Each structure stands twice: as structure tokens, then as C-alpha cells.
Amino acid sequence: EMYAEEHKDDIAYFHANWKRANPCNGWGPELQTNSPEVNISTLSAEGNYEVLNVEGEGHYVGCNLSVAHFQGSWWGEGDDMIFVDDDTWPPSIHGTGTEDYFNHAWGMQDNAGLYNGTALHESIVPGFQTSYKFHITDPVHFKKRIRVTIEHGHANHLCDDWASTAYWYQKKPGAVTIQPLDERIPTTPGDIERRGIGKSTCELTAEQQMQKDTAKRRFEEFMKTRQIEIEAKLKATREKEAGNKKHAQFIARKVK
């Protein structure tokens, strides 16, 4: 649109930008979400899913986030980290879990509010969750740059399919970008079953490798203990079966 007067300094352009990571590059997608082994230290935003990364002056006002989860447990637990202007570490805003960023708790609930909530709940389409958060009453202002990120699983251990649309106002129009066509083809419910949990392609740190080794040992010990319990139950079942036969024979003799 053309205007007769120049825009004032407090006028900003509305922006929206879609992006996707399919898959996110997780270091341990086979590790159960919320298991002890995924609880490693996080001292940077390296590897986080990036919702927005722009330079200039403006304010961030929210996003939609869609996740296709391949592990079959829970896609969240990743912290939101928003770096403003000259932030290094820690960021100006550091949340405590993905659902907390969307003002939910104990996972995403199947409800929708004016400024935050669920557009598609994973209980309706298993493995798929679309959430939204609009910072209408609490915009995140930036003077130089802003980088909005979220961990994909705690410490980025999951390899899920993440897609988002970020919304923000900026004084000058930003560059328009769009990912190639093959990166925009949506994941279907059937894809989740066919694809499986995925494999890590990132280089593991010593701590990550140690945690994966620990998880493997814990699983092996669990399987040994489980087998012992199975054998004990089978033995008890056989003994009860033999006792039942003897009792049945005793009753049969009395009836005769």
C-alpha cells in the first residue's frame, strides 16, 4: 500500500516466516524421554531448533510449532532459549520445558486459549502436536537481533520432525526465504510407523556417549532381571498347575 505520509519511527512491518527441520539432529533418539540418561548438562544453544533468527530492530510476538514425534513417548521437555541483541550465554529468556513455553504443564493439554494452547493434540492424531503462543501482552523487544530457539527433547536428544511459523514486527522489511520443495513435503501418520525413531548423525560428546553406554547397560540388566522374574513365575505356575491336577484327581476319586 502507498501512504501519503512517511511512516513514523514507531511503525514496524509485520513478518511471518515458516521453517522446518526434518529430522532435528538429535544425539540419542533411542533414549526414552525423561529417562535418567537424557539428563545431561546444557551450556549452549548449539543444535537447538531455530524458530527465528533475524537482525534489526523490532519485537517477537509468537509462533506456531508442529511436531511429528517418532519415538512414541513424549516430544517435549526441551527448554526454550531466546537470545536478544548481544546475548551469548545464558540467554535473556531461558525456559524450563517446551510445554511451559506454551503456558501448559504436564505435557500439552487438549485446550486452546486466546494467546496460547493446542491447535492439534497428539491424543487425536497420535504422534502429531501443533501448539501456539502469541506474545501479545508480553512481546520480546530487540534492538539489534533476536534468536528464538527450542531444544528438541531435553539437551536435543530427539530426532523428530519440527516445523514452525514465527511472527514478529520489524522496522525494516527482512529478506524473504523459503525452503526447497522436498523439505516442505508433510509427514503423514503412516510415515511415523514406517520411519521409526531415527538415527543420530551428530558427533557425540564424551558425556553423551557415556549416557548412551549407561542406558545400554541398564537395559541389559533390566532384561536379565526380567528373565529371572519370568522364570520364577513360570516355575510357580508349573507348581500350581501340578497342585491343581493332584487336587482334581483327589476330588475325582472322592466322587467315585
pLDDT digits (tens, 9 = 90+) for 42-54: 899 999 999 999 9
Residue 78: C-alpha distances to residues 23, 45, 178, 230, 241 (Å): 15, 11, 25, 37, 51
Based on the domain organization, do 223 and 154 belong to the same domain? Answer: no
Give the count of domains, the chain: 2
Task: With H, G, I as helix, E, B as strand and everything else as coil, classify residue 187.
Answer: coil
Instruction: State how far the Cα of 197 lies from the Cα of 195, in Å rounded to an integer.
Output: 7
Instruction: State how far the Cα of 108 lies from the Cα of 110, in Å rounded to an integer.
Output: 7
Based on the domain organization, do 69 and 134 belong to the same domain? Answer: yes
Task: With H, G, I as helix, E, B as strand and everything else as coil, classify residue 17.
Answer: strand
Based on the domain organization, do 208 and 198 belong to the same domain? Answer: no
Q: Is the pLDDT of residue 183 over 90?
A: yes
CB count in 10 Å sphere of residue 191: 15
Note whether residue 3 is domain-resident: no
Note whether residue 75 is domain-resident: yes
- Which residue(s) pair with 50 in the sheet? 149
170 membership: H or E segment, kind and range: strand 161-170
Based on the domain organization, do 31 and 142 belong to the same domain? Answer: yes
- Which residue(s) pair with 18 in the sheet? 165
**Radius of gyration (Cα) for the chain, nearest Å?**
26
Instruction: State how far the Cα of 134 lies from the Cα of 180, in Å rounded to an integer.
Output: 27
Based on the domain organization, do 139 and 243 belong to the same domain? Answer: no
Instruction: State how far the Cα of 187 lies from the Cα of 94, in Å rounded to an integer.
Output: 30
Task: Read off the pLDDT band of 233 (50, 70, 90).
Answer: very high
Note whether residue 6 is domain-resident: no
Q: Is the peptide bond before 23 cis (omega within 30 degrees of 0)?
A: yes
Based on the domain organization, do 63 and 162 belong to the same domain? Answer: yes
* Predicted confidence (pLDDT) per residue in 19-38, tens digit: 999 999 999 999 999 999 99
Based on the domain organization, do 115 and 227 belong to the same domain? Answer: no
- Which residue(s) pair with 52 in the sheet? 148
Q: Which domain holds residue 221?
A: 204-256
Which of 164, 179, 202 terminates a domain? The answer is 202
Task: Read off the pLDDT band of 103 (50, 70, 90).
Answer: very high
CATH number, domain of 107, equals: 2.60.120.1390
pTM above 0.75, yes or no: yes
Based on the domain organization, do 125 and 214 belong to the same domain? Answer: no
What is the average pLDDT value for the chain, to the nearest integer?
93
Going by C-beta distance under 8 Å and a sequence separation of 6 or more, which residues neighbour residue 142?
A: 56, 57, 58, 59, 60, 84, 85
Residues 110-128 have a mean pLDDT of 96
Based on the domain organization, do 184 and 209 belong to the same domain? Answer: no
CB count in 10 Å sphere of residue 54: 18
Note whether residue 116 is domain-resident: yes
Based on the domain organization, do 162 and 148 belong to the same domain? Answer: yes
What does residue 182 show for φ and ψ, rounded to 5 degrees? -65, -15
Instruction: State how far the Cα of 14 lies from the Cα of 6, in Å rounded to an integer.
Output: 17
Based on the domain organization, do 123 and 213 belong to the same domain? Answer: no
Based on the domain organization, do 157 and 182 belong to the same domain? Answer: yes
